[in-house]
Each structure stands twice: as C-alpha cells, then as structure tokens.
Amino acid sequence: MHKAQKKWGQNFLHDASIIQAIIDAVPTIDSGLYLEIGPGKGALTNLLAERDAPLLAYEIDPALFRSLDAQFKNHDTVHLTQGDFLSRDVDADIEAIGASNAPVHVVANLPYYITTPIIRRCLALTHIQTLTIMVQDEVAKRLAAVPGTKDYGALTVLTQYYATIDYLFTVPPHVFNPAPKVNSAVIQLTIKEERLLDSSLEERFEAFIHQCFGQKRKTLVNNLLPYYDQAKPLLVAYFLENDLNPQSRAEALHLNHLIKIFQKFDSLEHA
C-alpha cells in the first residue's frame, strides 16, 4: 500500500461521490485532450479514461507512476509522463502524442504548497480552454473573490484577467487519506477567448498589479507613489471622472478599472 508523501503534498481522494462530482464538472469534449496533473492512485484518471479522449497525465512520484503505468497499459488514449509538471515542455509533450493545437482541458487535485505556480503555468499554456481543479478552500475564495471583499487581491485580479472563475463546491477533509487540516474546494476556470490588453503588455501589467496591492492597508495612491511621480494627480482625476473615492484601495476596484489605470501609467512610462 502506497504511503502518502508529504514532500509532494499527497492527499488521496477516496469518496466516490466527490470523485464523480468533479468528473461531472469537466467538459465533455468532441475534440481536444484532457491534461491531468498528479493523478495519484488514478481516482479521476479512471473516469477520464472512459471518455475515450486523449489523456496526458503527469505524475511526479515514481512509485505511483509505475502503478499507473501497469493499470493503464492497455488504454491507448492514456499517455502517462513521470516527472514534475512545472519542469516539462508541455507543448512538446502534447505534440509527441499527436495532439498539437488541440483544445486542452486541465483536471487536477492540486497540492496546496504549489497551487499558485501550477495555475500560473497552466494559464501560460497554448490552446488551454478550461481548468477544473481542487485547491485549498482559502485559495478558491481568493481566486473567485469580488472587489471590496477581504479575499480580493493581486492573485484574484491576475487570474481573472485570463479566465472567468466558478466556485463549484466545498470538499471536507474526511474524504481524503490522509485528511488535510482545512477544507478544499473545486473550482473551474474558463479561459477568456479575448483579453483586454495586447500580449506584449501583460508582463508589465502583472508587475503593476503587484505594485497596486503591495500593502493592502494603503490607498492605491500611496501604493503607487514610490513608482510613479504622477500617481496622485492621475489617480485623483481618474477617480473623480468615474465617481470613485479618491481614497480607494486597490481591493475596491474592478479589473476593468485597474486595466484602464494601468494603461494611463504605462503610456507615460513607455511613450
């Protein structure tokens, strides 16, 4: 019997109803492929394999990989890769199984300690359409937060720039072995077909958002003053034009407002 490895954040889902609920949330596809991160003992993998669509799965644990490899050796549509998803050339792996340019649907029960890097990596993949993932409930609420709430922050804004986010359901600790100390949640990210900025500006936009939320207790003006000489007059003018409080913090502003403010500052910096 495989013992969960703490170094890889392993918590194995064993509740059949939760497993089925996750699979039911994953889009049924006529073309494209599924990409599973950390299949573990194959709880989700078994049901995904029944859909007869190509499935590319990454397992970092060598012992679990060997078990999965034996379990799915007769499934022509299941392609297993042993290694760290974050260090793989995923586009090359997709090309190797003959699925280049196919729509990608990610499915994963993510380890808590590495959730954000994996989400960011997924958002950078080409042809990705959805992510149906289980994460720590606290993270799920941050990703799905709305302006004016305590959970709304840089991670919220940057993820919602790339995708719409649906909080699907909460998952209690007792359905895992070993049981984590906190609740989990299943969320679904649907990648936006059109983005509000040119891709050449996105790296600067990400840096700008981190500046906006640098110290959450400070107003947006005070957070940006160290970086931009014109921060106060530009922001006050923008706030007054849009019926916003000049003392607003970043957490009070919708994504669209933050994009427009970024464009004003970026045009000055890169005129």
Contacts 24+ apart (CB under 8 A), 88-92: 88/58, 90/35, 90/121, 90/125, 91/125, 91/126
CA distance 6 to 19: 22
Which residue ranges in the chain fall short of pLDDT 50?
A: none
Q: Which two tokens stand for residue 84?
A: 């760290």
Tokens of 73: 């050796």
Domain ranges of the chain: 6-191, 199-269
**What class is the 199-269 domain?**
mainly alpha
* Class of domain 6-191 as given by CATH: alpha beta
pTM: 0.92
Interval 156-183: pLDDT, tens: 999 999 999 999 999 999 999 888 899 9
Q: What pLDDT digit, counting tens, does each position of 78-98 carry?
A: 999 999 999 999 999 999 999
For every residue of 112-160, DSSP letters joined together read GGGHHHHHHHHHTSTTEEEEEEEEEHHHHHHHT--TTSTT-SHHHHHHH
